[in-house]
Structure formats: structure tokens, C-alpha cells
Amino acid sequence: MLPLFNHGVYMSSLYEIVELANGDVVLRHVDNESSEPLVQIHFSEESLHYLGESKFAVAKIMIEAGMDAASDETEDEAIETYEELDSIQDHVIH
């Protein structure tokens, strides 16, 4: 199970990465298995041939990399916003 962050803030829901009956690997809420997955990975037959038993591990790495990238992007946006606000405050005359 994975905790997720949204704009640098811990989200209270927990998520899990699971393999569905059809072979797809999904990221979904732990507490609501019937909800739509947040991420769903489907490998082609050709991909499965090369991945073999590593399919789930590769899917997990892909999801984690996406989460890291999203977190980094959110952090970069927050820094840019802070820098913009800081530069505006430097020009305020009282």
C-alpha cells in the first residue's frame, strides 16, 4: 500500500497496486475496490513475452516513477509560485 501526496501534502487515503483478473495492473484506492483505478497498465502480448514473470515488478516501477515525476512537478510549481510571490512582496511600498 502506498500513501500519496498532493501538492506536497500527504493524502489520507491509501492506495494499492494490484493485478486484475484480465492481467492489467492498476493503482486503486484500498478502501474502495469497486472505484475506477487511478492508473491502469495493459501490456501487449509482445511485451508480456519479453517481461515474463517481471510484469508486475515493471508495472510497479512504472507507477512509482509516475508518482515521483508528479510529485517533483508539483514541488517545482510550488517553488515557482513562492518565488513569484516573494518578488511581488519585494516591490510593495508601504
pLDDT in tens, 38-63: 999 999 999 999 999 999 999 999 99
Mean pLDDT of the chain: 79
Q: Which domain holds residue 6?
A: 2-90
Q: Which residues of 3-29 are buried (b: 16+ CB within 10 A; e: fewer)?
A: ebeeeeeeeeeebebeeeeeeebbbbb
pLDDT of residue 71: 79
Question: Domain count of the chain?
Answer: 1
**Cα separations in angstroms, 2 against 10, 16, 20, 33, 62:** 11, 6, 18, 15, 14
Provide mean pLDDT across the span 51-78: 85
pLDDT in tens, 4-20: 555 444 454 788 999 99
Helix (H) or strand (E) holding 40: strand 39-41
Provide the whole-model pTM.
Answer: 0.63
